[in-house]
């Protein structure tokens, strides 16, 4: 691998249409907002990288990511021949990488993938990390949905064995109280719950008053106030006797010095894209572990399985410091289903001469209809009820999704309640139709094994 040379790097915006759940959105938000990088060696080996630039997280856009790529493409092709050279380049450009972490993430992942492939090793072996093994426990994320949808999703999560939950708060006291009450009712066994507030409040005092009124023992609260207010966040943690999860407030290793005091109160939401790639994420894992600070390995909306796979490397490296892990719910759901299918079915097909593709197409895929229907309903429900992302992405009120548009009927002092209630009724119709269409498959769930008595 010493003679490896990167012949070219190329970057393209990643345009993957969302599933049916996103068809209600305007055209410009009907697909992912990511960048895809390919690193190609002289022998034609290709490494792949991905990132999700988000202006409200790191201040980046696809445009700034492409500009960063254009500035450094030639130098990277000329200078990078192995892992030591890559680390040296990162050290020399640390300040610029701090300003463009997502742009660098896609490039770094592509180069690492290429180097690992050229060495014939897995990413873990190439980076001298323990191999991926054991089980990974994911968090069940409950969005800011209506009561019926919220209860249905929470109950389904519990049936699948989830015990770790994250609840998105709306900032509307009655709405959030109802969600907490529903969560209490469906929790037939002890569960752990953290609240995600998405910078809802201006001060710790406001956040504390609201969260206390919910009367629920959250083990942690994520970004309740504006980013980077560490003293206020610590005061909130002490008043509520819970942890604080830093997301937008933690983007680089240097910020660790700001939170070394009382490490038991802090949790870092570590997302590979916002941190600036795999190597920078692993450095944060080592430093956080040494400081006694817990880690949550998170995910970006719209990321593909490439970033999900990178997050698994980080989660595996963080094992004893890992408090929770997000993302890849669809992967978890389908994996659990496929594990329930008896291997004898595939063995019998092999005896009959079927190849792997035929086994998948003729046996596994037809049996997976219940799991796929369940995943489709969940994905539709989460996306259709999404409120935060549409109001972040969409600038034109005429392009608002139905969920976001309903907020326009409620003013500061008065609300147009007849119109609001009528709109809410209309908004549930697509979910009802989807459930009716897929009801039989949904009810069968993931318990089906394909074996008949």
Strand partners, 17: 31
Residue 448 pLDDT: 38
At residue 331 the predicted structure's pLDDT band, cuts being 50, 70 and 90, is low
CA dist 153 and 148 (Å) reads 9
- If one compares 156 and 71, the residue with the highest pLDDT of the two is 71
369-384 helix and 147-159 helix, angle to the nearest 10 degrees: 140
Is the pLDDT score of 301 beyond 80?
no
Where are the alpha helices (H) located in 260-368, listed in sequence order? Answer: 272-275, 278-291, 305-317, 329-340, 343-351, 356-359, 365-367
Residue 422 pLDDT: 86
Is the pLDDT score of 330 beyond 80?
no
CATH class of 6-126: alpha beta
Burial per residue of 424-434, b for 16 or more beta-carbon CB atoms within 10 angstroms, e otherwise: eeebeebbeeb
Looking at 103-117, 237-251, 421-435, which range is the least confident one?
Answer: 421-435
The residue-averaged pLDDT of 51-77 equals 93
The residue-averaged pLDDT of 427-437 equals 79
Fold that domain 332-447 belongs to in CATH? MetI-like fold (1.10.3720)
What mean pLDDT, rounded, does the chain reach?
A: 83
Residue 450 pLDDT: 33
pLDDT tens, residue by residue, 192-203: 999 998 888 999
β-pair type (140-142, 294-297): unpaired
Looking at 15-29, 144-158, 169-183, which range is the least confident one?
Answer: 15-29
Looking at 30-34, 112-116, 146-150, 183-187, which range is the least confident one?
Answer: 30-34
Domain ranges of the chain: 6-126, 140-331, 332-447
Question: Fold identical between 6-126 and 332-447?
Answer: no
Q: What angle do CA 29, 21, 411 make, to 5 degrees?
A: 70
Looking at 287-301, 393-407, 439-453, which range is the least confident one?
Answer: 439-453
Looking at 167-171, 206-210, 300-304, which range is the least confident one?
Answer: 300-304
pLDDT tens, residue by residue, 34-47: 899 999 999 999 99
**Residue pair 40/6 in contact by the 8 Å Cβ criterion:** yes
Residue 429 pLDDT: 85
The domain 140-331 belongs to what CATH superfamily? Enolase-like C-terminal domain (3.20.20.120)
**Residue pair 244/237 in contact by the 8 Å Cβ criterion:** yes
The residue-averaged pLDDT of 319-331 equals 78
At residue 445 the predicted structure's pLDDT band, cuts being 50, 70 and 90, is very low
pLDDT tens, residue by residue, 3-31: 688 999 999 887 655 443 322 222 233 45
Residue 38 pLDDT: 94
pLDDT tens, residue by residue, 378-426: 777 767 776 656 665 566 777 777 777 777 777 666 677 888 888 888 8
Name the most confidently modeled range: 204-208, 342-346, 386-390, 422-426.
204-208
pLDDT tens, residue by residue, 69-110: 999 999 999 999 999 999 999 999 999 999 999 999 999 999
At residue 162 the predicted structure's pLDDT band, cuts being 50, 70 and 90, is confident
């Amino acid at each position: 691998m010493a003679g490896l040379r990167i012949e070219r790097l190329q970057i393209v915006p990643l345009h993957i249409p969302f599933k049916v759940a996103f068809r209600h959105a305007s055209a410009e938000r009907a697909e992912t907002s990511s960048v895809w990088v390919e690193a190609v060696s002289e022998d034609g080996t290709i490494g792949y990288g991905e990132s999700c630039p988000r202006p409200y997280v790191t201040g980046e856009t696809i445009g700034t990511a492409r500009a960063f790529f254009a500035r450094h493409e030639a130098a990277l092709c000329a200078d990078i021949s192995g892992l030591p050279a890559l680390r040296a380049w990162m050290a020399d450009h640390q300040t610029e990488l701090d300003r463009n972490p997502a742009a660098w993430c896609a490039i770094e992942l592509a180069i690492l993938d290429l180097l690992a492939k050229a060495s014939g090793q897995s990413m873990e072996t190439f980076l001298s990390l323990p191999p991926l093994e054991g089980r990974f426990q994911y968090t069940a994320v409950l969005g800011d949905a209506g009561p019926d949808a919220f209860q249905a999703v929470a109950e389904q999560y519990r049936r699948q064995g989830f015990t770790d939950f994250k609840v998105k708060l709306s900032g509307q006291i009655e709405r959030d109280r109802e969600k907490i009450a529903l969560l209490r009712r469906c929790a037939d066994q002890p569960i752990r719950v953290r609240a995600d507030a998405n910078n809802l409040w201006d001060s710790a005092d406001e956040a504390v008053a609201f969260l206390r009124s919910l009367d629920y023992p959250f083990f942690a609260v994520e970004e309740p106030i504006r980013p980077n207010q560490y003293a206020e966040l610590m005061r909130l943690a002490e008043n509520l006797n819970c942890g604080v999860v830093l997301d937008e407030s933690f983007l680089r290793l240097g910020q660790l010095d700001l939170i070394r005091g009382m490490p038991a109160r802090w949790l870092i939401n570590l997302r590979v894209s916002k941190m600036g790639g795999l190597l920078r994420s692993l450095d944060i894992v080592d430093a956080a572990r040494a400081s006694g600070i817990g880690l949550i390995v998170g995910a970006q909306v719209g990321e593909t399985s490439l970033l999900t796979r990178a997050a698994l490397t980080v989660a595996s490296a963080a094992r004893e410091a890992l408090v929770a892990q997000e993302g890849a719910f669809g992967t978890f759901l389908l994996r659990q289903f496929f594990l329930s299918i008896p291997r004898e079915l595939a063995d019998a097909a092999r005896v009959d001469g079927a190849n792997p593709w035929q086994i998948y197409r003729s046996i596994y895929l037809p049996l997976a209809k219940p799991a796929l229907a369940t995943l489709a309903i969940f994905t539709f429900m989460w996306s259709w009820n999404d409120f935060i992302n549409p109001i972040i992405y969409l600038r034109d009120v005429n392009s608002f999704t139905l969920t976001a548009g309903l907020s326009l009927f409620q003013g500061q002092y008065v609300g147009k309640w007849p119109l609001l209630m009528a709109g809410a009724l209309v908004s549930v119709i697509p979910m009802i139709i989807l459930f009716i269409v897929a009801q039989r498959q949904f009810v069968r769930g993931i318990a089906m094994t394909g074996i008949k008595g």
